[in-house]
Structure 1
Amino acid sequence: MKPRSLMFTLYGEYVQYYGGEIWVGSLIQFMKRFGVSESSVRGAILRMVQKDLMQVRKIGNKSYYSFTPQGNRQIDEGVKRVYSGRRSEWDGKWRILTYSFPEALRELRNEVRKELTWTGFGAISNSTWISPNPVEDQVLELMERYQVEEYITLFSSSEVLSHDNESIVNKGWDLQQISTEYERFIQKYDKKFDELSEKAFQNTLTDEECFIERTKIVHEYRKFLFQDPSFPNELLPDYWTGTAARELFWNIHQLISIPAVRFFESLYESAPDLKVEPERNKAVNPFDKIQV
């Protein structure tokens, strides 16, 4: 696991429900469970502070880290995407985005492309991106944040005259490949679910093991956020395996969440002046936090 990505997982799954701040010593102990060295943790933190994703408070000789508003925005969006249900019905509208950046703003254009992919857009040509989801507010916020209103135009249309919906989907996304990746996830975690269920039945499942397995499965499932556009059911092919993968993810998550949070609490240390009541129930079951 890459240190930066793992930190996003740990903050999104646990730390945000305990005031959003953690002593660096606790963070090092958690990441040690995944083979990340102390020097790698500190290096990743430094880079994230430099990129305005994390911030530090010093109290005595201890450092406490939290995410900045920019970092928290990414965490909140990721948690929402992981734990919210798929939109079952389509409103019949395509959101169509076009852009034209001067070559001098190539790096900015690349950043916008990454954001569009994250939001679920697919490119049907070099400068035309499309999505069937109601993402207007997210796109308008993106345009304002990057100050690119003069380079981007967003349309909404209920009709594509030259192609049917299946053709548009095939132009913008490789759903077959995404479904294949979901199938690999299922094959891997079907066995893991059986193993964990047997250990739970025999009362041999430790809190630390639950913490490690919950963090791993969330970390791996998060990767689909960069692939799966979260289409409504009407636009999904018959071979789609994403729904089965999500059900498996949910079953494992529910099986091990309580002991996983218990282990987190055993190592977590907040700043002494942090007077925030932990949201333990939400840490145990983030599915309840997201309104579907």
Structure 2
Amino acid sequence: MNTRSMIFTLYGDYIRHYGSEIWIGSLIRLLKEFGHNEQAVRAAISRMSKQGWIQSTKRGNKSYYVLTEQGSNRIEEAAKRIFKLNQPSWDGKWRILMYSIPEEIRQVRDELRQELVWSGFGSLSNSSWISPNPLEKQVYDMISKYDIKSYVNFFIADYDGPNEKKHLVESCWDLQEINERYGEFISKYSQKYIIDKNKIEKGEMTDGQCFVERTILVHEYRKFLFVDPGLPQELLPDKWLGDSAASLFSQYYKEIAEPAGRFFEEIFKEGNEINKRDGDHDFLTHPLIID
């Protein structure tokens, strides 16, 4: 598992509930549970800082890393999509973003495409992207972030054929492949859920093991944010497995959330106590909130 990606998972599932800030020593200790060494953690943190997701602060000779506004917005958006309960009803409208970004800033174009995919847009053509979801804020945030106002046009429109909406959806997203991936998730984690549930009931699973399993569960489920556009129910095929996967995720998560949270809090507070002994008396903890 990629170190940088695991750090994003930890910020999203744990650290954001503690003021979005953590001592680097605690982060290194937590990631050691997954086989990541100190050098890999520091390299990943440095990269995330350069990309604007986090920023460092110093107290004494200790380094802390807190989410930036950009990082916090991304984490909160991801959390809402991961822990969503119900898909809102569709207003029948399509959001269409069209751009013509010059070759000399193609890096911006490439990054914009990645952002669009992550937000749930589908590519209708090389420079035309659509979504049935109300993503106006995300679109204008991207336009501002990349300073591309002069190169884009954004529409909210109806689809008037000549084909059915199903044909439009199939042109932009491979729902069969996504459904197969959901099936694989269900097959794997339905068995793990039963096994771990029995272990917890018998007291055969430590808090540390629950922390590892909860983090991996969220980490794996979070990958669907990059492939599933979150289409309204009206546009989904019959026998869609996304809802069943979401239900399984929620049940499994709730089963291991409390002991996993205890383990995280123990490491988090150990770092706090170490730093207090070293003279960092202004570092505050925050209560854990489990979605």
Under TM normalisation by the shorter chain, which class is it? over 0.9
TM-score by length of 1: 0.93
Aligned amino acid, residue 85 of structure 1: L
CA contact under 8 A between 1:86 and 1:231: conserved in structure 2? no
- In 2 relative to 1, CA 241–43 (structure 1 residues): closer, same or farther, beyond 3 Å? same
Q: What is the match of residue 131 of structure 1?
A: 131
Aligned amino acid, residue 43 of structure 1: A
Q: Which runs of 4+ in 1 moved over 3 A?
A: none
Q: What is the match of residue 90 of structure 2?
A: 90
Write the deviation string for residues 166-199 of structure 1: whole angstroms up to 9, x where unpaired. 0000000000000000100011101100111111
SS in 1 for 2:149: coil
Greater Cα shift, 116-125 or 199-208? 199-208
Shift of 1:88: 4.3
Which structure's relative contact order is higher, taking Cα pairs within 8 Å and 6+ residues apart? 1
1:273 equivalent to 2:282? Answer yes
Distance in 2, Cα, partners of 1:186 & 1:82: 16
Q: What is the match of residue 220 of structure 1?
A: 220
1:33 equivalent to 2:33? Answer yes
Gaps of 5+ in 2: 273-279
1:76 equivalent to 2:85? Answer no
Shift of 1:103: 1.0
Q: Let me know the Cα RMSD of the aligned residues.
A: 1.4
Aligned amino acid, residue 41 of structure 2: V
Distance in 2, Cα, partners of 1:88 & 1:3: 34
SS in 2 for 1:150: helix
CA contact under 8 A between 1:86 and 1:232: conserved in structure 2? no
Aligned amino acid, residue 63 of structure 1: S
Shift of 1:128: 1.0
Shift of 1:251: 0.3
SS in 2 for 1:230: coil
Q: What is the match of residue 249 of structure 2?
A: 249
Shift of 1:150: 1.2
Shift of 1:143: 0.9
Q: What is the match of residue 121 of structure 1?
A: 121
Distance in 1, Cα, partners of 2:151 & 2:88: 33
CA contact under 8 A between 2:159 and 2:165: conserved in structure 1? no
Shift of 1:86: 4.2
SS in 1 for 2:130: strand
Distance in 1, Cα, partners of 2:90 & 2:2: 36
Correspondence 1:91-110 to 2 at 5 A: 91-110=91-110
Distance in 2, Cα, partners of 1:86 & 1:183: 20
SS in 2 for 1:162: coil
Aligned residues: 282
Q: What is the match of residue 258 of structure 2?
A: 258
Write the deviation string for residues 248-286 of structure 1: whole angstroms up to 9, x where unpaired. 00000000101110000110134641345x242x2x2x2
Correspondence 1:8-19 to 2 at 5 A: 8-19=8-19
Distance in 2, Cα, partners of 1:64 & 1:272: 14
CA contact under 8 A between 1:120 and 1:228: conserved in structure 2? yes
1:182 equivalent to 2:182? Answer yes
Distance in 1, Cα, partners of 2:196 & 2:165: 42
Aligned amino acid, residue 4 of structure 1: R
Write the deviation string for residues 234-254 of structure 1: whole angstroms up to 9, x where unpaired. 111013111110000000000
SS in 1 for 2:204: coil
Shift of 1:50: 2.2
Gaps of 5+ in 1: 287-292
Q: What is the match of residue 230 of structure 2?
A: 230
Distance in 2, Cα, partners of 1:128 & 1:160: 17
Aligned amino acid, residue 23 of structure 1: W
Aligned amino acid, residue 219 of structure 2: H
